[in-house]
């Protein structure tokens, strides 16, 4: 079939989720507490409609049926994460065999259904025992994470051939140490920098350990970053400078060490200027240099827009925000439910950036999607959500990705966030993202219009 938007051979058409957002079963079969389980137990009122992490989409129980549904929606690949707190419920780092059994079953079931598993190791879900040791502020926790990563490679690496060390490592420092949206709700830029640094160090050491193992011979390891192209308000020098600094803190602080093996000098200078350099050991520089990723996962929802500060920000502790302000573009198309700008051209700009500045490293779009509140409004007489807005959203982003691939970008897949509506942290089930809708009360799953559409796209490897 001649298609206007045809994608490269063996393209991955899939979806992404994470353990804490889909498994449920937070308190059974020996699982330990993660920071989310703990936080919900102390402050349920902080979560939308007080729905917590044990009431997620019951993947722990229903994984077999769900994997069959994945096939029905045409997915040839699926990314989820192992919950560290399920595999290693306490500080002894002893493996929980119920968890091993569960993840083995999931991996085997995916493979026998022709679905490539991509396994992520950390998705904002620090075990509570490790948080008590200081979380990512603590170097000791880096060592514990490496033990955990090695155990995962050893236990599942014979069958899992795509690993990622982190999902969106910027979120923990940004939401948990610069803002108070995620636990532990500390607002201190210096501590945020230490957290971000330890995540990158942990990722590099895990990569080095993976590459030493036999199972890595036919496997690869990467990291998932939410690259948000950062645009200045206009071409005024001060605004361009503000956008560049925002880009350094929120994108390049993760992208450069992960792909190029070193931090941008401009970022180091800014941190020095503010007395905010993290504690590090000399040997780390070599570790980060030598252990770059084999591929990138790129999550893309929206861009950032910046302008110079209109007023000086008076703060007692360092924050990158002293250098810029967010700018709201009056022409922006908005997803009003999530408050995120919809800007499909951002996908092309990401491709362009990776081609020009990051050696055209292989990457896949590891998340893209549209969270919508009140989707029951769109249920038709057959009981199906007619989410035509989601089809348009995905089409527009795929067109932009296609343009990037035509220009030479080395992109090998597109994953939707998400497969079945899942638990969105503090937003719980407020906004729905799935190809498959979930009735929270009955746990009934129904494929949405977008799921049917995606099946055709995957089958044809493109669309018109």
Among 165, 172, 424, 437, indicate the residue that binds ligand BG6 (CB under 6 A): 424
How would you classify the pairing of strands 5-6 and 462-463? antiparallel
**Residue 57 binds ligand BG6, judged by CB under 6 A:** no
Is 137 in the active site?
Answer: no
Nearer to ligand BG6, 34 or 226 (CB): 226
- Establish how many alpha carbons lie within 13 A of residue 1's alpha carbon, considering only the half-sphere containing its beta carbon: 13
x/- track of binding to ligand BG6 for residues 199-228 (CB under 6 A): ---------------------------x--
Q: What is the DSSP letter of 426?
A: G
User: Smallest gap, in angstroms, from Cβ of residue 299 to ligand BG6?
Assistant: 6
Nearer to ligand BG6, 226 or 239 (CB): 226
Among 59, 78, 393, 425, indicate the residue that binds ligand BG6 (CB under 6 A): 425
Nearer to ligand BG6, 246 or 431 (CB): 431
**Residue 81 binds ligand BG6, judged by CB under 6 A:** no
Q: Which of residues 311-340 bind ligand BG6 (CB under 6 A)?
A: 338
- Report the alpha-carbon angle 26-32-33, nearest 5: 70
Sorted by sequence, the CB contacts under 8 Å of residue 382 that are 6+ apart come out as none
Sorted by sequence, the CB contacts under 8 Å of residue 61 that are 6+ apart come out as 24, 25
Binding piece for ligand BG6, criterion CB under 6 A, among 83-91, 198-206, 424-432, 437-445: 424-432
Catalytic residue among 168, 174, 325, 344: 168
User: Smallest gap, in angstroms, from Cβ of residue 125 to ligand BG6?
Assistant: 10
- DSSP for 164-211, please give it: EEEE-TTHIIIIIIISSSSTT----HHHHHHHHHHHHHHHHHHHHHHH
**Residue 251 binds ligand BG6, judged by CB under 6 A:** no
State how far the Cα of 348 lies from the Cα of 303, in Å rounded to an integer. Answer: 12
**Residue 417 binds ligand BG6, judged by CB under 6 A:** yes
State how far the Cα of 42 lies from the Cα of 46, in Å rounded to an integer. Answer: 10
Tokens representing 67 are: 């994997």
Binding piece for ligand BG6, criterion CB under 6 A, among 246-254, 271-279, 282-290, 423-431: 423-431
**Residue 368 binds ligand BG6, judged by CB under 6 A:** no
Among 427, 443, 446, 460, indicate the residue that binds ligand BG6 (CB under 6 A): 427
x/- track of binding to ligand BG6 for residues 168-187 (CB under 6 A): x-------------------
State how far the Cα of 178 lies from the Cα of 190, in Å rounded to an integer. Answer: 9
State how far the Cα of 164 lies from the Cα of 24, in Å rounded to an integer. Answer: 22
List of E strands, 328-424? 333-335, 340-342, 363-367, 372-373, 411-417
**Residue 344 binds ligand BG6, judged by CB under 6 A:** no
Contact 444, 376 (CB under 8 A): no
Q: What is the DSSP letter of 32?
A: P
User: Smallest gap, in angstroms, from Cβ of residue 126 to ligand BG6?
Assistant: 14
Contact 232, 307 (CB under 8 A): yes
Helices (H), 113-188: 128-132, 139-156, 171
Contact 83, 106 (CB under 8 A): no
User: Smallest gap, in angstroms, from Cβ of residue 47 to ligand BG6?
Assistant: 12
Among 34, 299, 319, 437, indicate the residue that binds ligand BG6 (CB under 6 A): 299
User: Smallest gap, in angstroms, from Cβ of residue 415 to ligand BG6?
Assistant: 11
**Residue 167 binds ligand BG6, judged by CB under 6 A:** yes
Binding piece for ligand BG6, criterion CB under 6 A, among 140-148, 247-255, 313-321, 425-433: 425-433
State how far the Cα of 308 lies from the Cα of 310, in Å rounded to an integer. Answer: 6
**Residue 252 binds ligand BG6, judged by CB under 6 A:** no
**Residue 367 binds ligand BG6, judged by CB under 6 A:** yes
Contact 218, 161 (CB under 8 A): yes
Sorted by sequence, the CB contacts under 8 Å of residue 277 that are 6+ apart come out as 193, 268, 271
Q: What is the DSSP letter of 257?
A: I
Reference 411, options 258, 301, 300; nearest CA is 300
Reference 394, options 440, 451, 432; nearest CA is 451
Nearer to ligand BG6, 17 or 307 (CB): 17
Nearer to ligand BG6, 19 or 232 (CB): 19
Sorted by sequence, the CB contacts under 8 Å of residue 4 that are 6+ apart come out as 462, 463, 464
User: Smallest gap, in angstroms, from Cβ of residue 387 to ligand BG6?
Assistant: 16
Which residue has the closest beta carbon to ligand BG6? 424
User: Smallest gap, in angstroms, from Cβ of residue 93 to ligand BG6?
Assistant: 25
Is 367 in the active site?
Answer: yes
Among 18, 131, 246, 251, indicate the residue that binds ligand BG6 (CB under 6 A): 18
Positions marked catalytic: 168, 367
Contacting positions for ligand BG6 (CB under 6 A): 18, 21, 167-168, 226, 299, 338, 367, 371, 417, 424-425, 427, 431
């Amino acid at each position: 079939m001649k298609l206007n938007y045809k994608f490269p051979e063996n393209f991955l058409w899939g979806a992404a989720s994470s353990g804490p957002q889909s498994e449920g079963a937070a308190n059974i079969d020996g699982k330990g507490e993660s920071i989310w389980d703990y936080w919900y137990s102390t402050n349920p009122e902080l979560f939308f409609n007080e729905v917590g992490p044990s009431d997620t989409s019951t993947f722990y129980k229903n994984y077999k049926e769900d994997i069959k549904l994945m096939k029905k929606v045409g997915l040839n690949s699926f990314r989820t994460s192992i919950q560290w707190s399920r595999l290693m419920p306490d500080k002894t780092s002893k493996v929980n065999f119920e968890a091993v059994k569960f993840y083995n079953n999931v991996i085997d079931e995916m493979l026998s259904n022709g679905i490539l598993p991509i396994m992520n190791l950390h998705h904002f879900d620090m075990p509570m025992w490790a948080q008590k040791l200081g979380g990512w502020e603590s170097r000791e926790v880096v060592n514990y994470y490496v033990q955990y990563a090695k155990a995962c490679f050893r236990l599942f690496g014979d069958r899992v051939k795509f690993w990622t060390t982190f999902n969106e490592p910027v979120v923990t420092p940004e939401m948990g140490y610069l803002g108070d949206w995620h636990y532990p709700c500390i607002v201190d830029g210096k501590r945020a920098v230490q957290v971000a640094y330890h995540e990158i160090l942990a990722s590099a050491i895990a990569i080095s350990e993976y590459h030493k193992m036999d199972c890595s011979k036919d496997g690869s390891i990467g990291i998932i970053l939410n690259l948000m192209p950062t645009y200045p308000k206009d071409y005024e020098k001060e605004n361009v400078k503000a956008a560049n600094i925002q880009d350094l803190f929120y994108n390049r602080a993760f992208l450069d060490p992960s792909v190029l093996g070193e931090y941008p000098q401009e970022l180091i200078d800014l941190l020095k200027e503010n007395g905010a350099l993290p504690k590090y050991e000399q040997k780390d520089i070599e570790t980060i240099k030598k252990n770059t990723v084999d591929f990138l996962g790129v999550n893309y929802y929206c861009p950032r827009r910046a302008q110079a500060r209109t007023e000086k920000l008076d703060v007692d502790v360092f924050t990158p925000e002293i250098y810029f302000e967010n700018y709201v573009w009056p022409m922006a198309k908005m997803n009003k439910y999530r408050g995120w700008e919809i800007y499909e051209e951002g996908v092309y700009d990401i491709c362009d950036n990776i081609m020009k500045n990051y050696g055209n490293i292989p990457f896949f779009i590891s998340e893209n999607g549209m969270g919508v509140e009140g989707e029951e409004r769109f249920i038709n007489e057959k009981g199906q959500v007619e989410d035509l807005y989601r089809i348009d959203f995905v089409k527009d982003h795929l067109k932009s990705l296609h343009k990037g691939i035509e220009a030479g970008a080395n992109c090998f897949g597109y994953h939707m966030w998400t497969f079945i509506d899942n638990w969105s942290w503090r937003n719980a089930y407020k906004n729905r993202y799935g190809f498959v809708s979930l009735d929270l009360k009955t746990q009934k799953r129904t494929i949405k219009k977008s799921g049917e559409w995606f099946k055709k796209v995957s089958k044809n490897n493109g669309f018109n």
